[in-house]
Amino acid sequence: MAKGGPIQVHEHEASLYASREDFHTIFNEDLKELYQLSFLITRDPAKAERCLVSGLEDCATGNPVFREWARSWAKRAIIQNAIRELKPRVIQSTSSLPGTIVPDTDKLSSGPGQYFEMHDVLLLEVFERFVFVMSVLEHYSEHDCALLLGCSARDIREARTRALKKLADSPHVEPSDNQLVVQENAQEKK
């Protein structure tokens, strides 16, 4: 029984992994969503753009990743660049940053769920905002959030609780065109 030669095996392995072109396609197709993710985390258009561009560069030149994981890997690259840029740390502060400029954007996700005004999310403390976006909007586990942010799972739980309380206490409770919709993860319900 003859087995495939080294060239056939190499071609098969290459087809499993996302290529530079795959990442360029993802960033082109999902540009608005990826920019919104970046902006929501950074709160700053220039920083959001830098994190987005760096994320694309990291994906295109970084370690191989399975093709089916490429979209989530692109988001992770953006989040990691935002972490490097902003260096969010656990702080027990309750002040909010005034003067946040909210661009005219659509919902980040759609479907049934809980609504949050983008402006209110942007007013969260840096660490709380990272935790909220990563754990609630992007469905990262507490463990993954803690590893990426360099803190404990308890810090993640506490920051998420504070963020959700602040958002629940905000005056924007009715659905509007400028809200984030948190979808329940269907697999978590099983």
pLDDT(43) > 70: yes
Is residue 38 over pLDDT 90?
yes
Q: Is the pLDDT of residue 49 over 90?
A: yes
CATH code: domain of residue 122: 1.10.10.10
Q: What is the DSSP letter of 99?
A: -
Residues 104, 177 share a domain: yes
Last residue of a domain, one of 87, 105, 123: 87
Last residue of one domain, picked from the residues 56, 87, 118: 87
Task: Give the separation between CA 12 and CA 17, rounded to whole angstroms.
Answer: 9
- Which among 52, 87, 122 is the end of a domain? 87
For residue 91, the one-letter residue type is: I
Co-location of 139 and 80 in the same domain: no
Q: Is 114:181 a contact under the CB 8 Å cutoff? A: yes
Higher pLDDT, 149 or 173: 149
Number of domains in the chain: 2
Mean pLDDT of 10-14: 53
CA-wise closest residue to 59 among 78, 45, 35: 78
Q: What is the pLDDT of residue 133?
A: 96
Quick one: pLDDT at residue 9? 44
pLDDT tens per residue across span 103-138 = 433 333 323 455 678 889 999 999 999 999 999 999
